[in-house]
Amino acid sequence: MDDVFEMGPIRPPSEARSLLIRVTRNCPWNKCEFCHTYKGETFSIRPKEEVKADIDRIKALADEIRELSWKTGEAGQVNEAVLRRYLALPGKQSHAHQSVAAWLYYGGTQVFLQDGNSLLVKTADLADILEYLKGRFPSIRRITSYARARTVSRKSVEELKELHRAGLSRIHIGMETGYGPLLEFMKKGVTPEEQVRGGRNVVESGISLSEYVMPGLGGVRWWREHAVETARVLNRIDPDYIRLRTLYIRRDMPLFQKVQSGEFARPSDDEIVAEIRLFLQTLDGIRSRVVSDHILNLLEEVQGKLPEEKEMMLAVIDRYLSWPPEERLRFRVGRRLGYLRNLGDLEDPALSSWIDQIIREVRRTLREDRGADAGEPEIEKEIYSLMESYI
């Protein structure tokens, strides 16, 4: 049996326990300045029969794992013992085997359709794939996918309703910003009006909508417009989720060249926190849930349901911004090293002492390298470099 099925490179953090089904390959736009994932790759739509064949292979693997569970007295349950036994068998160490086994271990209820824009598939074909998938796996409760705002702005509400009836539960859209000039600067390939129309189409279809916002994307130049105009677009959409994903600039992103040329300057972490505060203040009249579900976000605590938890989120930001500069520095270092998640974690004496030791070492190294005391900009660069380990 050919037990290998095709998987793409990425999925949202919220889909960590989802089975990955590749419906399209790569991204049809692939021009965004801040993205590196699909550069140099060609977009294609996989034939639906090819996708169905992958689903059949996954079903065969799942049956194999459940059969082992019955044979070992676990009554079909895929627990940790079954997981270990299965993956220890000869020839069961591939990513495909690990993926299916882990999916069953976590319940086998969630699926994510890859890659960057599965909604480009013809509605009838995608609905057929969804129905086939649910038929093979009745345990599935949620099926999600990425989509571009422009794509869903061109789908009718009735088409989206058809996909919802077939099983599509949630659409993730990388909005990034709602500010027109910034969308053009970043070559996003969409307008604010298309973002609103596409978002409203999804909401009206009954499919859950997650919109991703990228704090820091406005740079030093457009941080205010980015915060305000993005919030205003979201106020018109009222998505189920607003997910924060702080900008990080890799060397293999086109945006890196704009940093080198001076066209773009990334704000400091503290400036981005102030930007998020203005963004939250401008959100109004919606019932979205704000989610901070990525290690790149400095303040993981800034999440909650609107409008009732808005003041709580603002209070977290105000608490951080009220700290003296050295205390904020200590938190940033601890967060970027993965030691801290919440502001209160800094109250742990052992962690606090360890972070102080790291800061002293960084300052000593910079002083030796540069022959003078390191100022805040130099230390900020060192902190930013710590983020590389999470990308």
Backbone angles phi, psi at 244, to 5 degrees: -90, 130
Helix axes 95-105, 48-71, angle to 10 degrees: 70
For 266, residues 6+ apart whose C-beta sits below 8 A from its C-beta are 216, 219, 220, 247, 249, 259, 384
The C-alpha atoms of residue 112 and residue 14 are separated, in whole angstroms, by: 10
- Per-residue pLDDT, 391: 54
CATH class given for the domain over 13-323: alpha beta
Radius of gyration of the chain measured on its C-alpha atoms:
23
User: Quick check: pTM over 0.85?
Assistant: yes
- Per-residue pLDDT, 201: 98
Residue pair 39/30 in contact (Cβ under 8 Å)? The answer is yes
Look over the chain and give the mean of its residue pLDDT values, rounded to a whole number: 94
The C-alpha atoms of residue 149 and residue 172 are separated, in whole angstroms, by: 10
The stretches in the chain having pLDDT less than 50 are: 1-2
State the SS3 of the chain. CCCCCCCCCCCCHHHCCCEEEECEECCCCCCCCCCCCCCCCCCEECCHHHHHHHHHHHHHHHHHHHHHHHHCCCCCCCCHHHHHHHHHCCCCCCHHHHHHHHHHHCCCCEEEEECCCHHHCCHHHHHHHHHHHHHHCCCCCEEEEEECHHHHHHCCHHHHHHHHHHCCCEEEEEEECCCHHHHHHCCCCCCHHHHHHHHHHHHHHCCEEEEEECCCCCCCCCHHHHHHHHHHHHHHHCCCEEEECCCCCCCCCHHHHHHHHCCCCCCCHHHHHHHHHHHHHHCCCCCCEEECCCCCCCCCCCCEECCCCHHHHHHHHHHHHHCCHHHHHHHHHHHHCCCCCCHHHHHCHHHHHHHHHHHHHHHHHHHHHHCCCCCHHHHHHHHHHHHHHHC
Q: Is the dihedral of CA 329, 331, 332, 333 positive or negative?
A: positive
Question: Residue ranges per domain, the chain?
Answer: 13-323, 324-391
Tokens of 43: 């977009």
- Per-residue pLDDT, 381: 73
- Per-residue pLDDT, 370: 67
State the SS3 of 161-215. HHHHHHCCCEEEEEEECCCHHHHHHCCCCCCHHHHHHHHHHHHHHCCEEEEEECC
Residue with tokens 């990228």: 214
The C-alpha atoms of residue 9 and residue 30 are separated, in whole angstroms, by: 14
For 312, residues 6+ apart whose C-beta sits below 8 A from its C-beta are 304
The C-alpha atoms of residue 234 and residue 256 are separated, in whole angstroms, by: 28
- Per-residue pLDDT, 293: 87
Give the residue from 216, 214, 272, 208 showing the smallest Cα distance to 241: 208
- Per-residue pLDDT, 382: 72
Backbone angles phi, psi at 4, to 5 degrees: -100, 130
- Per-residue pLDDT, 1: 38
